[in-house]
Each structure stands twice: as C-alpha cells, then as structure tokens.
Structure 1
Amino acid sequence: MVKIAVAGGSGQVGREVVDALVAAKKHEITILSRTDISVSDSTPGVIWRTVDYNDKSKLAEALHGIHTVLSFTQLLADPENTAQKNLIDAAVVAGVKRFAPSQWGSASTMDMPWWAGKDKITEYLKKVNENGRVLEYTLFQPGLFLEYLAAPYKTAKHLEPLNTMIDFQNRRAIVVDGYDSIMTCTTVQDLAAVIVRAVDLEGEWPVVGGISGNRVPISHILKVGEKVRGRPFTVEKVKVEDLENGILTTSWKLESSHPSVTGDQVEKMLKTVLIGTLLSSVKGAWDVSDEMNQLLPEFKFTQLEDFLTEAWRGKP
C-alpha cells in the first residue's frame, strides 16, 4: 500500500481515477481541494484535505508521507500554472516519489493554445530534475476519450459528453482535405484502470506515459460510424491553409464546451478548439505512443467498434 494524493480530484477525469483507485482497495487516497466538500462526499477510503495552492509550506505539509501525486488541476483557470508549480515544489520538499502532471490528453499541444500550460509544466519538471532526478514523473497521455464519440449520451459516471469533429448523433464529420489523420482513442475507464496498475509498478515510470487504447485513422472511425449508425456520414472538408488563418467555413461547429469555459468566451473557445483539434491532428498530435501498454501487456483495452456499437445501440 502507498499513499496517493490527487490534486483536482473533484473534477471529471480525477473522479473517474479516484473511483478506480478506491475500488482497488490497495492504497490510502487523499484528495486535495481548494474548497471543503468532504461533508458532501463520504467515499470510504478517501480523505479530503482543503489546501491553498498559493501556500507552498502548507502544501508540503499536506504531502508529508505521500508516495504518488496525481494532478488534475484545471489549466484554463490558472494561466500562470501557479498551482502545479507550487505543487511540484511542495512535492520535492515533502519527499514525494512520483508525480503525474495534468496531461490526460494528446501527445503534443501544437495548435492547441488552451493546453499551453502542459508544455510549461513539462519544462518546469525538466528543470527540477536538471541536476539529477529529484522527482520521478510521467506524462499520462490517453489521446481522445472514446466516450466523446457517444455525445450527447453520457457513458461514464463522471465524464460529461463533449462533441468533436466527428458527430455520431447527426452522422456527420469535419475532416482536413488531403489528410487521414491518426487518432488515439481510449475510454476514461481504461485510463483509470491503467493508472491503478501504474501506481503498483515497481520500476521507474517512463517520462512519457502513452496509453494507446485504439490507434486508428479518422477514415476507420467514420467507417465504424457508418456501420453502427446505419448510413453514411456527411463529410465536410476544410483546408489546412484556411485553418492556419483561423478560417472555418463549415455548416456546423462544436456545441458543447468544458464547464471551465463560461460566458461570452464559449463561442470563441469552441471555434478555437475545433480549428486547433483539426490542425493538430494532421500534425500527429493525437498519435499517442504506447509506453504504458508495453509495461502492462496483459491489460485488454476496450475496442473502438465494441464501445461504439454498444453506445449507439437503439439510439435514434
């Protein structure tokens, strides 16, 4: 048994991982939260601790005796990355062995400015270890959550639906003309299950922790979509040069956004996310590596066609 601290553990992905860790019944789990919500959450095996991410000494105190820190802190709400930098510093002071920063997505952030903080934190971790390893860390990267292809239907306990450039409900898609980009799609449940197993690994974590549930070209996703949805998808093509210039001439756009984006920023962010996802896909950002697959060869990932067949069974 080891002691695990989960920062941002009240968020969607964090809660999926916490549930899996609790179900494993192996470790003592502490959730670090800016607000005290322990009264409304009495999950057995979980300790809630209210922290101030601006107070490094108090953070170090909260991390005393902790073996592994998993961070799910919200990047958009902290453009200076203060919370994670202070969390890393506190982890070093407290003698934490392992740290997983808030990654949980693509292999690269190119053309995705809303995730720029990920690169800054990666550089910060490199700097912390530049004179010898002080803090073992890995960048967990599962690609696109497969559950998003079931939008608007919710297929996970905590992860809320988000629509993408492949819209199964309306049988349509937006693709980049001349490209058949590789996408890595992994269910959030598989991600959580891999994290549970990764915590138990005795060797050193790889710096990049790629988790490749399904590595497929977009054309394959569309082929599966047409099979499970019963008829061909309407496909609109956009050009790279238009996307590079911020031009989006499609008949439809994304409609659902992350809860951290509110007010008059929603429409602008949805356009930015769609353009960024399309551009980054043609540059290989969603072609995630498989380091964790290799370390866990016995683990069986949920297959894309099986998941989508079940998710869309009987749906109009």
Structure 2
Amino acid sequence: MSIKNVVLVGADGVQVKLLSDDFSIDELVPALQDQDAIVSTVYGAQVDLQKRLADAAIKAGVKRFIPSDFGSCDSQSKRAMELAPIYIAKSEVRDYLEKLAKENSGFSWTSLVCGHFFDWDLGFFHIDLKAKSFEILDDGEVYWSTSTFAQIGKATAAILQKPEETKNRFAYIQSFRINQNQLLKAFEKTTGESWNVKKYDSSDYVKERKAKADGGEKSAVEDLVWVLGTLEADWEAREGYANDLLGLKQENLEEVVARIVKNN
C-alpha cells in the first residue's frame, strides 16, 4: 500500500484539498477520487459527517481514514464515555470504520491518540500565566502523556508513510510523559517566580463538575476532559504505544514551556 494524496477535512492553512461538511455521499465521492487517505479534524462529535466521509471513501477507493480521535484521552475508556459524551461519539465513528475495514479489504483506519494538546490553551490546563496560578489534582504525581501540535503533525505524516504497520489500530503518541508537579516546576523555572498553587481532591472535583456538565455547563465538560487527560492518559505502558514505530523523538519539556511563555 502506498499513500501519496491526502484529503484533510475540517482544517485550513495547508496545501491539501478541503471539503465542506454539508455534502452528501454522492457529492463527496468525486472530491475523494484519486485520494489515498482522509484525515478528519472535524469536531469529534460529528458522527454523521464522518460516517458519510467513510462511506464516500469506500466508493472513491480511498485506502486510509484517520478519524477525529485526537485529543486528551483514550476514547475506548468506559470512564471517558461516562464523563464526556464526545467519547461515545468518537467510539461510534471508530466502530463504524472497523466494520467498513472488515467488509472492504482495500480500506483501513488508524486512530491517533495524542493526549492533551500541550501548546493549545494554558487555560485548559488550569494554568494562568498572567496571575502565576496553577491548579493540581490530588498530589500532582500522576504521570500523563501529552503532545505538541508539531508532534501530532509528524505522527500523522509517519502513519501515512507506514500504512501497513499502522493499519486498523490505535497509535498512542506523546511529546513527553510528565506529572503536574514537573510541569509547575518548568513554569516556575522559566518565569523565575514562585506560583500560587491550588489543589483539588479529584473525586470531589469530578463529582462537582459532572453535576454541572449534566446541567449543560460547557466549561464543566472541558474540566472533566482535563481530569481524564491528566489522571488516565499514560501511554508508555499501553499496547499500541507508537513513538518508536513512527520515529518520534521525545521533546524537551523546559524548551517547549519556554516557547509557550515567550509566545504568551
């Protein structure tokens, strides 16, 4: 299998074919002709759109589908599905891709699981650079995997360059494996200041935020995703850990933090 032509759905700023999210399957097929792979970066809860894309991909002869399974935690996790409905949606898409791959020998999928987007939004990590405040769950010693956007891009490209090794499987990646205390120290070292720290009991925090999420508070859902990606996202021991397979090097935490501080 050789993958050379790629369609990216749901993003801009790159030299690839872009597709709208309101096309029917028959309208999508011509746009996917002569393409080898689809990378979906649409919102993960857009189940129907991704299913339509997959159906159109089969008709167009697309070989590989990378769904919008990126992000903070493992969408296979029952705990994740209990706390954040988006992971139910992601699992539904992946189950559909698995079904299509079994029925169509020329079609395959890869789910890239990268942990929290490390250089996306400090507020999501409950870090306030201006106020020098940092929130920690429990004792801050639980290790978790996280990736920069650059690392995620490299991983995506590597998956497409190794289609046989990465077909019909999860690929767990990271830029580094850290705990919250290490991250706090990196920010304190970079800024040259001591930070204000607030600690939460994770059980109490989850209970309180879940109640608010069930009441429709969007920020509470994001907080639950933060918890999942901080307490249940250590990829190194997972079956499917793929840094070595994909040729990904660990990044330097202090260097990345320094860059984030400089840019903020």
TM band (smaller chain): 0.7 to 0.9
Partner of residue 31, structure 1: 18
Partner of residue 138, structure 1: 110
Distance 2:95 2:5 in 1: 26
The 3-state SS of whatever aligns with 1:138 is: strand
Distance 2:69 2:49 in 1: 14
Partner of residue 84, structure 1: 50
What pairs with 1:81-120 in structure 2 (closer than 5 Å)?
Answer: 81-109=47-75, 110=80, 111-120=83-92
- Structure 1 residues 276, 190: CA separation in 2 closer, same or farther (over 3 Å shift)? closer
Judge conservation of contact 1:65–1:96 (CA < 8 Å) in 2: yes
The 3-state SS of whatever aligns with 1:66 is: coil
Partner of residue 257, structure 1: none
Partner of residue 222, structure 1: 184
Judge conservation of contact 1:186–1:211 (CA < 8 Å) in 2: yes
Cα root mean square deviation, aligned: 2.7
Partner of residue 288, structure 1: 235
The 3-state SS of whatever aligns with 1:102 is: coil
Partner of residue 174, structure 2: 212
- Structure 1 residues 314, 278: CA separation in 2 closer, same or farther (over 3 Å shift)? closer
The 3-state SS of whatever aligns with 1:245 is: helix
- Structure 1 residues 292, 239: CA separation in 2 closer, same or farther (over 3 Å shift)? same
Shift of 1:165: 1.9
Shift of 1:134: 4.9
Larger fraction in helix: 2
Q: Which runs of 5+ in 2 are unaligned?
A: 211-215
Asked if residue 9 in structure 1 is aligned to residue 11 in structure 2, the reply is yes
Asked if residue 148 in structure 1 is aligned to residue 117 in structure 2, the reply is no
What pairs with 1:1-316 in structure 2 (closer than 5 Å)?
Answer: 2-10=4-12, 15=13, 18=14, 22=15, 29-34=16-21, 52-53=22-23, 55-76=24-45, 78=46, 81-109=47-75, 110=80, 111-131=83-103, 133-148=105-120, 151=122, 163-178=124-139, 180-201=141-162, 203-206=164-167, 207-247=169-209, 268-279=217-228, 281-282=230-231, 284=232, 286-289=233-236, 291-297=241-247, 299-313=248-262
1:81-116 deviation line (CA, Å, top 9, x unaligned): 110011111111211111100122134141233443
Shift of 1:191: 1.6
1:234-259 deviation line (CA, Å, top 9, x unaligned): 222222332342259xxxxxxxxxxx
The 3-state SS of whatever aligns with 2:187 is: helix
Distance 1:275 1:98 in 2: 31
TM-score (norm: length of structure 1): 0.69
Q: AA paired with 2:109?
A: Y
Shift of 1:180: 2.4
1:21-42 deviation line (CA, Å, top 9, x unaligned): x4xxxxxx322124xxxxxxxx
| 4+ long deviations beyond 6 Å | none
Distance 2:251 2:55 in 1: 37
Q: Which runs of 5+ in 1 are unaligned?
A: 23-28, 35-51, 152-161, 249-264
What's the % identity of the aligned pairs?
A: 23
1:278-310 deviation line (CA, Å, top 9, x unaligned): 25532x1x323574421233x444322111123
Shift of 1:74: 1.9
Judge conservation of contact 1:128–1:134 (CA < 8 Å) in 2: no
- Structure 1 residues 147, 279: CA separation in 2 closer, same or farther (over 3 Å shift)? closer
Distance 2:203 2:163 in 1: 47
Shift of 1:195: 2.1
Distance 2:208 2:99 in 1: 34
- Structure 1 residues 136, 202: CA separation in 2 closer, same or farther (over 3 Å shift)? closer
The 3-state SS of whatever aligns with 1:293 is: coil
Shift of 1:133: 4.4
**What count of residue pairs does the alignment treat as equivalent?**
247
- Structure 1 residues 112, 303: CA separation in 2 closer, same or farther (over 3 Å shift)? farther
Q: AA paired with 2:202?
A: V
Judge conservation of contact 1:9–1:31 (CA < 8 Å) in 2: yes
